[in-house]
Amino acid sequence: MQSARLKIIVPCLALVGVVWFFRGPIENHIRLTATLNNTAPEPEGVSEMIARAADPHAALMAAWNSGKIVQREVALQELRNRLHNDEPLPADVNALLLSGAFDPDMNIREAVFGLLQSRHHPALLALAAGQLHDVDPAVRLLGLLQFKLAPAAAGVPVVASLLDDPDLSVVSISVKYLETWSGEKFGVKLSDAVPVENQTNGLLELPAPGVANIKAAMAKAKAWWSQHQNEYPPVKLELPAEAMMRPQPLSAGNFQARTLDGQPVKLADYRGKVVLLNFWTTWCTACATEIPELVALQKKHVHDLGIIGVSLDFVPDDDGSLGGDEGGQKLPAGSGKAAALAAIRAKVVRLVAARNISYPVILDETDAIGGQFNGGELPTTVIVDANGNVRRRFIGARSLEVFEAMIQDAAQNPSARATTQDPHLALTR
């Protein structure tokens, strides 16, 4: 009997010893696996996983390659913190940055260009030029801003092509840069492109005097360009092969919830059409600004577009307050939580009725959907194509015309990066 017991006890003790000895690596592996598989992790948890990993760089790249929005954004933040400008870029990091310049997540693009700029990356201007024909004016502005310190020979032909841009903010900065390179004064002020709220529709728009100044300066810049165009031959900017390749699809995954009127909603049920997810709250001014645009968008695209509004009104702020106001109501516990939820639900229902919102609206009580798409900075919009892949994710309101252009773009199959047709700019491999 004693011999039989020893045969059981000794291996068990040995196993316990092995587990105890390797408890650190085992814990790190469990943490890594759980974090990468989590559809809505806390960003702090992703950072902690990377920091505590035996190989932080490998963990960082695993987070980037997870195909999940929060993990990828944290990975890029950690990369920014860990890179030193005096060190050469590892090959995998360089490839990450080149592909990230065309990422569907605008947060990623902005962070990538910050890193490229700080390192004076040789592909910076080529990657920036690749943004200049995007349907989103915010993307075009991002590309344009990278030309601020470019030499005149490279900057003038590229920026002059933006004088006919439909967005006057893009035009005003283009004119300002041309002033710098040419030494001429076209009469534009950056303050002309500062939007103010339209008291009728709530949209942020350029004031009439600013619009007039920009258009007058644009005419002068065009006249100068027509006279000096021959002095600036077309620019050839070489895009690295990694940036020209088709990006990996970023799956939107799935979620299921119930709308304010109790109807079940599954993201997967929308396969076959473009879907726009809009994260908002009743107290967000910018959110209120774009709701009429979304209502109009849904009316114009009843059959080929699904819009889902996701209210984050019940998600507490960093200080634990509801309602978005500093010092507001704290999220209560117990029975008080149910009462607070009922009150907020009633508030959201009232606003939906007052704004004539025709598309389904979900009250995201646990931040499960908001966490999945990192929707906490408001308003956040995510556009998903018919195959269930994220084609755009961005923060801030957009006009009806821009939304329509984005929807049309998402309805097309993504293809390899094409060279631009601008006669003054050739993107080559």
Mind giving me the DSSP string for 225-288?
Answer: HHHHGGGSPPEEEEPPHHHHSPPPP-B----EEEBTTS-EEEGGGGTTSEEEEEEE-TT-HHHH
Query: Helix, strand or coil for residue 205?
Result: strand
DSSP assignment, residue 324? S
Going from N- to C-terminal start, the domains of the chain cover 9-82, 124-238, 256-317+333-411
pLDDT of residue 192: 86
For residue range 241-299, what is the model confidence (pLDDT) as tens digits?
888 776 678 999 999 999 999 999 999 999 999 999 999 999 998 898 899 999 999 99
pLDDT band at 387 (very low <50, low <70, confident <90, very high): very high
Under 8 Å between Cβ of 382 and 392: yes
Under 8 Å between Cβ of 140 and 118: no
pLDDT above 60 for 82: yes
* Measured distance CA(404)–CA(277) in Å, rounded: 14
pLDDT band at 425 (very low <50, low <70, confident <90, very high): low
Q: Give residues with Cβ within 8 angstroms of 354, minimum separation 6.
A: none
Residue 189 CB neighbour total at 10 angstroms: 13
pLDDT of residue 251: 95
pLDDT of residue 167: 95
Q: Which residues pair with 205 in a beta bridge?
A: 196
Q: Give residues with Cβ within 8 angstroms of 82, minimum separation 6.
A: 56, 57, 60
User: For 108-116, which contacts have Cβ atoms below 8 Å and span 24 or more sequence positions?
Assistant: 108/72, 108/73, 108/76, 109/139, 109/142, 110/142, 111/73, 111/76, 111/77, 111/80, 112/76, 113/142, 113/146, 114/80, 115/79, 115/80, 115/83, 116/146
pLDDT of residue 419: 45
pTM: 0.89
For residue range 130-159, what is the model confidence (pLDDT) as tens digits?
999 999 999 999 999 999 999 999 999 999
pLDDT of residue 420: 47
Rounded to an integer, the average pLDDT of 345-351 is 96
pLDDT of residue 264: 97
Nearest CA-CA partner of 194 in 207, 185, 177? 207
Nearest CA-CA partner of 392 in 143, 135, 38, 37? 135
256-317+333-411: which CATH topology? Glutaredoxin (3.40.30)
Q: Which residues pair with 426 in a beta bridge?
A: 236
Rounded to an integer, the average pLDDT of 203-222 is 90
pLDDT of residue 268: 96
pLDDT band at 25 (very low <50, low <70, confident <90, very high): low
Under 8 Å between Cβ of 321 and 328: yes
